[in-house]
Amino acid sequence: MNYSKPYHFFVYRLIPVAMLTSFIFACGESEAPKQGAETTPPTDSAAMREIVVSQKDKQFAPTELKIKTGDSVSFRNDDPFFHNVFSFSETRVFDLGSYPQGETRKVVFDKPGEVEVECAIHENMKLKIIVE
Protein backbone atom coordinates (compact mmCIF):
# COMPACT_ATOMS: atom_id res chain seq x y z
CA MET A 1 0.00 0.00 0.00
CA ASN A 2 1.50 3.23 -1.00
CA TYR A 3 0.33 6.27 0.76
CA SER A 4 1.22 9.13 -1.36
CA LYS A 5 1.31 12.06 0.87
CA PRO A 6 0.48 15.24 -0.89
CA TYR A 7 2.76 17.99 0.05
CA HIS A 8 1.17 21.32 0.18
CA PHE A 9 3.47 24.17 -0.17
CA PHE A 10 1.92 27.30 0.95
CA VAL A 11 3.91 30.04 -0.44
CA TYR A 12 3.11 33.37 0.97
CA ARG A 13 4.35 35.93 -1.27
CA LEU A 14 4.53 39.24 0.32
CA ILE A 15 4.33 41.77 -2.29
CA PRO A 16 5.55 45.04 -1.02
CA VAL A 17 3.08 47.62 -1.96
CA ALA A 18 4.69 50.80 -2.84
CA MET A 19 2.34 53.57 -2.27
CA LEU A 20 3.07 55.80 -5.09
CA THR A 21 1.29 59.01 -4.96
CA SER A 22 1.53 60.76 -8.16
CA PHE A 23 0.31 64.23 -8.46
CA ILE A 24 -0.74 64.87 -11.93
CA PHE A 25 -1.12 68.44 -12.76
CA ALA A 26 -3.50 68.66 -15.56
CA CYS A 27 -2.13 71.52 -17.47
CA GLY A 28 -4.40 70.82 -20.32
CA GLU A 29 -5.26 74.35 -21.07
CA SER A 30 -4.72 73.89 -24.72
CA GLU A 31 -7.52 75.67 -26.44
CA ALA A 32 -8.84 73.94 -29.44
CA PRO A 33 -8.15 76.14 -32.40
CA LYS A 34 -11.32 77.65 -33.60
CA GLN A 35 -11.87 76.37 -37.03
CA GLY A 36 -14.18 78.46 -39.11
CA ALA A 37 -17.03 76.47 -40.54
CA GLU A 38 -16.13 77.33 -44.05
CA THR A 39 -17.09 74.02 -45.51
CA THR A 40 -19.57 74.74 -48.19
CA PRO A 41 -22.10 72.06 -48.96
CA PRO A 42 -21.45 70.34 -52.25
CA THR A 43 -23.55 71.88 -54.91
CA ASP A 44 -24.68 69.72 -57.73
CA SER A 45 -24.18 72.60 -60.10
CA ALA A 46 -23.26 70.34 -62.97
CA ALA A 47 -26.72 68.81 -62.95
CA MET A 48 -28.60 72.04 -62.48
CA ARG A 49 -27.41 74.53 -65.02
CA GLU A 50 -29.25 77.61 -66.10
CA ILE A 51 -29.13 78.42 -69.77
CA VAL A 52 -30.16 81.81 -71.09
CA VAL A 53 -32.06 82.03 -74.34
CA SER A 54 -32.42 85.44 -75.90
CA GLN A 55 -35.41 86.66 -77.84
CA LYS A 56 -34.01 89.14 -80.31
CA ASP A 57 -35.06 90.36 -83.75
CA LYS A 58 -38.18 88.20 -83.48
CA GLN A 59 -36.12 85.06 -83.07
CA PHE A 60 -34.98 82.79 -80.32
CA ALA A 61 -31.23 82.70 -79.96
CA PRO A 62 -30.21 79.98 -80.25
CA THR A 63 -32.95 78.27 -82.24
CA GLU A 64 -31.92 74.83 -81.05
CA LEU A 65 -30.68 73.88 -77.64
CA LYS A 66 -29.47 70.70 -75.99
CA ILE A 67 -29.77 70.55 -72.23
CA LYS A 68 -29.79 67.96 -69.49
CA THR A 69 -32.70 66.89 -67.35
CA GLY A 70 -32.92 69.25 -64.41
CA ASP A 71 -31.51 72.21 -66.29
CA SER A 72 -33.47 75.40 -66.47
CA VAL A 73 -33.78 77.82 -69.34
CA SER A 74 -34.23 81.53 -68.84
CA PHE A 75 -35.98 83.30 -71.68
CA ARG A 76 -34.82 86.87 -71.91
CA ASN A 77 -36.63 89.39 -74.03
CA ASP A 78 -34.04 91.54 -75.78
CA ASP A 79 -36.46 93.17 -78.21
CA PRO A 80 -38.12 96.54 -77.65
CA PHE A 81 -41.53 94.90 -77.78
CA PHE A 82 -43.40 92.08 -76.11
CA HIS A 83 -42.71 88.41 -76.66
CA ASN A 84 -44.61 85.43 -75.43
CA VAL A 85 -43.11 82.07 -74.58
CA PHE A 86 -45.03 78.84 -74.42
CA SER A 87 -44.89 75.13 -75.27
CA PHE A 88 -47.53 72.52 -75.94
CA SER A 89 -44.95 69.73 -76.06
CA GLU A 90 -45.78 66.74 -73.91
CA THR A 91 -42.30 66.78 -72.38
CA ARG A 92 -42.84 70.18 -70.87
CA VAL A 93 -46.04 72.15 -71.24
CA PHE A 94 -45.72 75.73 -70.06
CA ASP A 95 -46.85 79.27 -70.74
CA LEU A 96 -44.74 82.14 -69.51
CA GLY A 97 -47.14 84.69 -70.90
CA SER A 98 -46.14 87.92 -72.59
CA TYR A 99 -43.49 90.19 -71.22
CA PRO A 100 -41.48 93.23 -72.28
CA GLN A 101 -37.87 94.00 -73.02
CA GLY A 102 -35.41 93.30 -70.26
CA GLU A 103 -37.59 90.76 -68.53
CA THR A 104 -36.54 87.13 -68.05
CA ARG A 105 -38.71 84.17 -67.17
CA LYS A 106 -37.47 80.73 -66.29
CA VAL A 107 -38.58 77.16 -66.94
CA VAL A 108 -37.13 74.01 -65.38
CA PHE A 109 -36.99 70.96 -67.61
CA ASP A 110 -37.35 67.93 -65.36
CA LYS A 111 -38.13 65.30 -67.98
CA PRO A 112 -36.12 64.12 -70.98
CA GLY A 113 -37.54 64.60 -74.44
CA GLU A 114 -38.12 67.22 -77.08
CA VAL A 115 -39.77 70.55 -76.49
CA GLU A 116 -40.97 72.98 -79.15
CA VAL A 117 -41.01 76.48 -77.78
CA GLU A 118 -42.96 79.21 -79.56
CA CYS A 119 -44.05 82.79 -79.25
CA ALA A 120 -47.76 83.43 -79.56
CA ILE A 121 -47.18 86.92 -80.89
CA HIS A 122 -44.66 86.07 -83.60
CA GLU A 123 -45.55 82.75 -85.11
CA ASN A 124 -42.21 82.38 -86.88
CA MET A 125 -40.37 82.29 -83.60
CA LYS A 126 -39.48 78.72 -82.82
CA LEU A 127 -37.01 77.05 -80.53
CA LYS A 128 -36.33 73.36 -80.23
CA ILE A 129 -35.04 72.15 -76.90
CA ILE A 130 -33.69 68.63 -76.59
CA VAL A 131 -33.68 67.53 -72.97
CA GLU A 132 -31.26 64.64 -72.48
Residues that bind Cu ion (CB under 5 A): 83, 119, 121-122, 125
Beta carbon nearer to Cu ion, 77 or 92: 77
Q: How far apart are CA 114 and CA 69, in angstroms?
A: 11
Residue number of the CB closest to Cu ion reads: 119
User: Minimum Å distance from CB 36 to Cu ion?
Assistant: 50
User: Minimum Å distance from CB 50 to Cu ion?
Assistant: 21
How many C-alpha atoms does 129 have within 13 Å on its Cβ side? 34
Rounded to whole angstroms, the maximal C-alpha distance in the chain is: 130
Beta carbon nearer to Cu ion, 67 or 96: 96
Asked whether the beta carbons of 85 and 96 are under 8 A apart, the reply is: yes
